[in-house]
Amino acid sequence: MEHAISASPRTHANAKSAAINAKAVRKHFGGRTILNDVSLDFRPGETVAILGPSGGGKSTFLRCLNGLCHFDEGEVRVGSRTLLARGRTAGHELEQVRRSFGMIFQDFQLFPHRTVLANVTEAPVRVLGEGRRSANERAHELLRRVGLQDHAEKYPHQLSGGQKQRVAIARALAMKPQGLLCDEITSALDPELKAEVLKTLEDLKREGLTLLMVTHEIGFARRAADRVVVLCDGKILEDGTPREVLDSPTSPRMREFLQCVLG
Ligand SMILES: Nc1ncnc2c1ncn2[C@@H]1O[C@H](COP(=O)(O)OP(=O)(O)OP(=O)(O)O)[C@@H](O)[C@H]1O
Ligand SMILES: [Mg+2]
Protein backbone atom coordinates (compact mmCIF):
# COMPACT_ATOMS: atom_id res chain seq x y z
CA MET A 1 0.00 0.00 0.00
CA GLU A 2 1.38 3.38 -0.94
CA HIS A 3 1.82 5.47 2.11
CA ALA A 4 4.50 7.71 3.42
CA ILE A 5 3.94 10.21 6.12
CA SER A 6 7.18 11.23 7.64
CA ALA A 7 7.80 12.66 11.04
CA SER A 8 8.61 16.06 9.59
CA PRO A 9 8.09 19.29 11.50
CA ARG A 10 4.56 20.56 11.80
CA THR A 11 3.72 22.67 8.81
CA HIS A 12 -0.01 22.48 8.73
CA ALA A 13 -1.30 23.61 12.06
CA ASN A 14 -1.21 26.88 13.90
CA ALA A 15 0.92 26.81 17.00
CA LYS A 16 -2.04 26.08 19.23
CA SER A 17 -5.10 23.98 18.59
CA ALA A 18 -8.38 25.53 19.59
CA ALA A 19 -10.98 24.21 21.98
CA ILE A 20 -14.60 23.95 20.89
CA ASN A 21 -17.40 24.48 23.37
CA ALA A 22 -20.97 23.82 22.33
CA LYS A 23 -23.49 25.06 24.87
CA ALA A 24 -27.15 24.03 24.88
CA VAL A 25 -27.39 23.84 21.11
CA ARG A 26 -30.85 23.27 19.71
CA LYS A 27 -31.72 22.83 16.08
CA HIS A 28 -35.09 22.25 14.47
CA PHE A 29 -35.96 21.27 10.93
CA GLY A 30 -39.61 21.78 9.97
CA GLY A 31 -40.92 21.46 13.49
CA ARG A 32 -38.75 18.43 14.34
CA THR A 33 -36.06 18.74 16.97
CA ILE A 34 -32.79 17.53 15.45
CA LEU A 35 -30.37 18.70 18.16
CA ASN A 36 -31.90 18.78 21.59
CA ASP A 37 -29.88 20.83 24.04
CA VAL A 38 -26.47 19.48 23.09
CA SER A 39 -23.60 20.69 25.28
CA LEU A 40 -20.14 19.31 24.56
CA ASP A 41 -16.63 20.59 25.20
CA PHE A 42 -13.73 19.45 23.06
CA ARG A 43 -10.21 20.05 24.31
CA PRO A 44 -7.42 21.26 22.04
CA GLY A 45 -5.63 18.31 20.49
CA GLU A 46 -8.38 15.86 21.38
CA THR A 47 -9.47 13.17 18.93
CA VAL A 48 -13.16 12.47 19.33
CA ALA A 49 -15.13 9.83 17.46
CA ILE A 50 -18.79 10.78 17.12
CA LEU A 51 -20.97 7.74 16.59
CA GLY A 52 -24.66 7.03 16.49
CA PRO A 53 -27.58 5.73 14.50
CA SER A 54 -28.52 7.25 11.15
CA GLY A 55 -30.53 10.44 11.46
CA GLY A 56 -29.32 11.05 15.01
CA GLY A 57 -27.98 14.52 14.19
CA LYS A 58 -24.23 13.85 13.80
CA SER A 59 -23.74 15.68 10.49
CA THR A 60 -26.00 18.52 11.57
CA PHE A 61 -24.01 18.94 14.77
CA LEU A 62 -20.67 19.00 12.95
CA ARG A 63 -22.01 21.55 10.49
CA CYS A 64 -23.24 23.74 13.36
CA LEU A 65 -19.72 23.73 14.85
CA ASN A 66 -18.36 25.11 11.60
CA GLY A 67 -21.10 27.63 10.94
CA LEU A 68 -22.24 25.71 7.86
CA CYS A 69 -25.62 25.26 9.47
CA HIS A 70 -27.52 27.72 11.70
CA PHE A 71 -28.78 26.53 15.04
CA ASP A 72 -31.85 27.92 16.79
CA GLU A 73 -30.69 28.20 20.38
CA GLY A 74 -27.43 27.97 22.29
CA GLU A 75 -23.91 29.05 21.50
CA VAL A 76 -20.74 27.59 20.05
CA ARG A 77 -17.29 28.89 20.97
CA VAL A 78 -14.38 27.97 18.73
CA GLY A 79 -11.15 29.21 20.30
CA SER A 80 -11.78 32.89 20.93
CA ARG A 81 -14.64 33.11 18.40
CA THR A 82 -18.33 32.71 19.07
CA LEU A 83 -21.11 31.44 16.83
CA LEU A 84 -24.52 32.75 17.83
CA ALA A 85 -27.94 31.20 17.34
CA ARG A 86 -30.24 32.03 14.40
CA GLY A 87 -27.38 33.12 12.17
CA ARG A 88 -26.60 36.23 14.20
CA THR A 89 -22.86 35.58 14.06
CA ALA A 90 -20.84 38.46 12.66
CA GLY A 91 -19.40 37.74 9.20
CA HIS A 92 -15.75 38.03 10.24
CA GLU A 93 -16.31 35.69 13.24
CA LEU A 94 -17.85 33.12 10.94
CA GLU A 95 -14.94 33.39 8.52
CA GLN A 96 -12.40 32.89 11.33
CA VAL A 97 -14.27 29.85 12.67
CA ARG A 98 -14.35 28.27 9.22
CA ARG A 99 -10.67 28.90 8.80
CA SER A 100 -9.75 27.42 12.15
CA PHE A 101 -11.57 24.12 11.56
CA GLY A 102 -11.50 22.59 8.11
CA MET A 103 -14.37 20.32 7.20
CA ILE A 104 -13.95 17.17 5.11
CA PHE A 105 -16.81 15.22 3.60
CA GLN A 106 -17.49 11.67 2.43
CA ASP A 107 -17.54 12.71 -1.24
CA PHE A 108 -14.21 14.65 -1.20
CA GLN A 109 -15.64 17.74 -2.97
CA LEU A 110 -12.48 18.35 -4.98
CA PHE A 111 -12.52 20.69 -7.98
CA PRO A 112 -12.66 18.18 -10.88
CA HIS A 113 -11.05 20.38 -13.52
CA ARG A 114 -8.06 21.36 -11.42
CA THR A 115 -4.92 19.42 -10.72
CA VAL A 116 -4.20 18.04 -7.28
CA LEU A 117 -1.71 20.87 -6.73
CA ALA A 118 -4.23 23.53 -7.78
CA ASN A 119 -6.86 21.98 -5.51
CA VAL A 120 -4.52 22.37 -2.56
CA THR A 121 -3.29 25.90 -3.37
CA GLU A 122 -6.64 27.45 -4.38
CA ALA A 123 -7.83 28.56 -0.94
CA PRO A 124 -4.47 29.69 0.53
CA VAL A 125 -3.93 31.92 -2.51
CA ARG A 126 -7.49 33.19 -2.86
CA VAL A 127 -8.59 33.38 0.78
CA LEU A 128 -5.35 33.82 2.75
CA GLY A 129 -3.67 35.90 0.03
CA GLU A 130 -0.60 33.66 0.12
CA GLY A 131 1.92 34.08 -2.71
CA ARG A 132 1.72 31.46 -5.47
CA ARG A 133 5.27 30.27 -4.94
CA SER A 134 4.98 29.79 -1.21
CA ALA A 135 1.53 28.15 -1.62
CA ASN A 136 3.01 25.72 -4.15
CA GLU A 137 5.91 24.87 -1.87
CA ARG A 138 3.62 24.23 1.06
CA ALA A 139 1.25 22.20 -1.11
CA HIS A 140 4.10 19.94 -2.24
CA GLU A 141 5.12 19.46 1.39
CA LEU A 142 1.56 18.63 2.41
CA LEU A 143 1.15 16.21 -0.49
CA ARG A 144 4.35 14.53 0.56
CA ARG A 145 3.00 14.22 4.06
CA VAL A 146 -0.17 12.49 2.92
CA GLY A 147 1.89 10.22 0.66
CA LEU A 148 0.90 11.85 -2.65
CA GLN A 149 4.10 13.59 -3.66
CA ASP A 150 4.04 11.96 -7.11
CA HIS A 151 0.47 12.96 -7.91
CA ALA A 152 0.59 16.77 -7.84
CA GLU A 153 -0.07 17.20 -11.57
CA LYS A 154 -2.87 14.64 -11.81
CA TYR A 155 -6.56 15.44 -11.93
CA PRO A 156 -9.02 14.00 -9.38
CA HIS A 157 -10.47 11.49 -11.88
CA GLN A 158 -7.01 9.91 -12.18
CA LEU A 159 -6.89 9.09 -8.45
CA SER A 160 -8.36 6.34 -6.30
CA GLY A 161 -10.97 7.22 -3.68
CA GLY A 162 -8.40 6.97 -0.90
CA GLN A 163 -6.02 9.24 -2.78
CA LYS A 164 -8.81 11.77 -3.43
CA GLN A 165 -9.67 11.78 0.23
CA ARG A 166 -6.01 12.38 1.13
CA VAL A 167 -5.97 15.32 -1.32
CA ALA A 168 -9.02 16.64 0.52
CA ILE A 169 -7.11 16.34 3.80
CA ALA A 170 -4.07 18.13 2.32
CA ARG A 171 -6.38 20.83 0.97
CA ALA A 172 -7.93 21.36 4.41
CA LEU A 173 -4.47 21.44 6.03
CA ALA A 174 -3.31 24.06 3.53
CA MET A 175 -5.50 26.57 5.36
CA LYS A 176 -3.39 26.00 8.51
CA PRO A 177 -6.37 24.91 10.57
CA GLN A 178 -6.34 24.13 14.27
CA GLY A 179 -8.49 21.10 13.75
CA LEU A 180 -10.48 19.05 11.28
CA LEU A 181 -14.14 18.13 11.30
CA CYS A 182 -14.55 14.90 9.35
CA ASP A 183 -17.97 13.63 8.35
CA GLU A 184 -17.78 9.92 7.51
CA ILE A 185 -14.79 10.49 5.31
CA THR A 186 -14.00 6.81 4.87
CA SER A 187 -17.54 5.54 4.31
CA ALA A 188 -17.26 5.40 0.53
CA LEU A 189 -13.88 3.64 0.51
CA ASP A 190 -12.78 0.03 0.16
CA PRO A 191 -11.09 -1.43 3.25
CA GLU A 192 -7.53 -0.91 2.00
CA LEU A 193 -8.16 2.71 0.98
CA LYS A 194 -9.99 3.27 4.23
CA ALA A 195 -6.89 2.12 6.10
CA GLU A 196 -4.71 4.65 4.19
CA VAL A 197 -6.96 7.53 5.16
CA LEU A 198 -7.30 6.42 8.79
CA LYS A 199 -3.52 6.09 9.01
CA THR A 200 -3.20 9.69 7.76
CA LEU A 201 -5.57 10.84 10.49
CA GLU A 202 -3.70 8.94 13.17
CA ASP A 203 -0.51 10.72 12.09
CA LEU A 204 -2.27 14.08 12.34
CA LYS A 205 -3.57 13.17 15.77
CA ARG A 206 -0.04 12.41 16.94
CA GLU A 207 0.97 15.87 15.79
CA GLY A 208 -1.64 17.50 18.01
CA LEU A 209 -4.37 18.52 15.60
CA THR A 210 -7.88 18.49 17.10
CA LEU A 211 -9.93 15.89 15.24
CA LEU A 212 -13.68 15.50 15.48
CA MET A 213 -14.71 12.52 13.42
CA VAL A 214 -18.18 11.32 12.65
CA THR A 215 -17.48 7.72 11.81
CA HIS A 216 -18.80 4.20 11.76
CA GLU A 217 -15.28 2.82 12.17
CA ILE A 218 -15.52 1.28 15.60
CA GLY A 219 -11.97 -0.12 15.27
CA PHE A 220 -10.59 3.35 14.56
CA ALA A 221 -12.59 4.82 17.45
CA ARG A 222 -11.20 2.20 19.79
CA ARG A 223 -7.63 2.58 18.58
CA ALA A 224 -7.24 6.27 17.90
CA ALA A 225 -9.93 8.24 19.71
CA ASP A 226 -9.33 9.78 23.10
CA ARG A 227 -13.05 9.92 23.56
CA VAL A 228 -16.24 8.57 22.04
CA VAL A 229 -19.46 10.59 21.95
CA VAL A 230 -22.72 8.98 20.84
CA LEU A 231 -25.48 11.16 19.44
CA CYS A 232 -28.90 9.60 19.15
CA ASP A 233 -32.19 11.37 18.41
CA GLY A 234 -30.45 14.71 18.84
CA LYS A 235 -29.15 13.96 22.33
CA ILE A 236 -25.90 12.77 23.83
CA LEU A 237 -26.42 9.14 24.68
CA GLU A 238 -22.87 8.33 25.79
CA ASP A 239 -19.68 10.31 26.34
CA GLY A 240 -16.53 8.66 27.65
CA THR A 241 -13.34 6.84 26.82
CA PRO A 242 -13.53 4.28 23.99
CA ARG A 243 -13.40 1.47 26.57
CA GLU A 244 -16.20 2.94 28.65
CA VAL A 245 -18.50 3.63 25.74
CA LEU A 246 -17.72 0.63 23.54
CA ASP A 247 -17.19 -2.05 26.18
CA SER A 248 -19.60 -1.00 28.90
CA PRO A 249 -22.21 1.36 27.50
CA THR A 250 -24.70 2.57 30.06
CA SER A 251 -27.77 2.78 27.82
CA PRO A 252 -29.68 -0.14 26.29
CA ARG A 253 -30.00 1.94 23.09
CA MET A 254 -26.21 2.04 22.75
CA ARG A 255 -25.93 -1.71 23.28
CA GLU A 256 -28.51 -2.17 20.51
CA PHE A 257 -26.61 0.21 18.21
CA LEU A 258 -23.30 -1.58 18.83
CA GLN A 259 -24.90 -4.92 18.08
CA CYS A 260 -26.10 -3.54 14.74
CA VAL A 261 -22.73 -2.00 13.83
CA LEU A 262 -20.60 -4.92 14.94
CA GLY A 263 -22.99 -7.45 13.44
N1 LIG B 1 -31.69 20.35 5.40
C2 LIG B 1 -32.52 19.55 6.09
N3 LIG B 1 -33.84 19.77 6.07
C4 LIG B 1 -34.71 19.00 6.79
N5 LIG B 1 -34.31 17.99 7.59
C6 LIG B 1 -32.99 17.73 7.65
C7 LIG B 1 -32.02 18.49 6.91
N8 LIG B 1 -30.79 18.01 7.18
C9 LIG B 1 -30.97 17.00 8.05
N10 LIG B 1 -32.28 16.84 8.33
C11 LIG B 1 -32.85 15.83 9.23
O12 LIG B 1 -32.17 15.93 10.47
C13 LIG B 1 -31.98 14.65 11.03
C14 LIG B 1 -30.52 14.48 11.38
O15 LIG B 1 -29.80 14.43 10.18
P16 LIG B 1 -28.22 14.25 10.14
O17 LIG B 1 -27.83 14.28 8.72
O18 LIG B 1 -27.60 15.24 11.05
O19 LIG B 1 -28.08 12.79 10.76
P20 LIG B 1 -26.80 11.85 10.86
O21 LIG B 1 -26.70 11.44 12.30
O22 LIG B 1 -25.64 12.52 10.26
O23 LIG B 1 -27.24 10.59 10.00
P24 LIG B 1 -26.35 9.63 9.04
O25 LIG B 1 -25.61 8.67 9.95
O26 LIG B 1 -27.39 8.91 8.22
O27 LIG B 1 -25.45 10.49 8.22
C28 LIG B 1 -32.51 13.64 10.03
O29 LIG B 1 -33.79 13.24 10.45
C30 LIG B 1 -32.58 14.42 8.75
O31 LIG B 1 -33.62 13.95 7.95
MG1 LIG C 1 -24.45 12.15 8.59
pLDDT tens sequence across 218-239: 999 999 999 999 999 999 999 9
Considering only 53-62, 164-173, 241-250, 254-263, which range has the smallest mean pLDDT?
A: 254-263
pLDDT for the residue 16 = 55
Mean pLDDT for 99-125 is 95
Lowest mean pLDDT among 9-18, 98-107, 208-217: 9-18
What is the reported pLDDT for 11?
A: 37
Question: Does residue 104 contact residue 172 with C-beta atoms inside 8 Å?
Answer: yes
Could you tell me the distance, in angstroms and rounded to a whole number, from the CA of residue 57 to the centre of ligand 1? 6
Is residue 263 predicted with pLDDT exceeding 80? no
Give the integer Cα–Cα distance in Å for 140 and 120: 9
Residue 39 clears pLDDT 70, i.e. is over it: yes
Q: What is the mean pLDDT of residues 118-137?
A: 96
In the predicted model, is pLDDT for residue 13 greater than 80?
no
Q: Is 60 in the pocket of ligand 1 (CB under 6 A)?
A: yes
pLDDT exceeds 50 at position 7: no
Query: Does the domain made of 20-262 have the CATH classification 3.40.50.300?
Result: yes
Atom of ligand 1 nearest to the CA of 57: 18
Which pLDDT score, from 0 to 100, does residue 69 have? 94
How far apart CA 209 and CA 77 sit, in angstroms, is 17
Average pLDDT of the chain, as a whole number: 90
Determine whether the shortest distance from the Cβ of 34 to ligand 1 is under 6 A.
yes
Give 212's strand partners.
48, 181
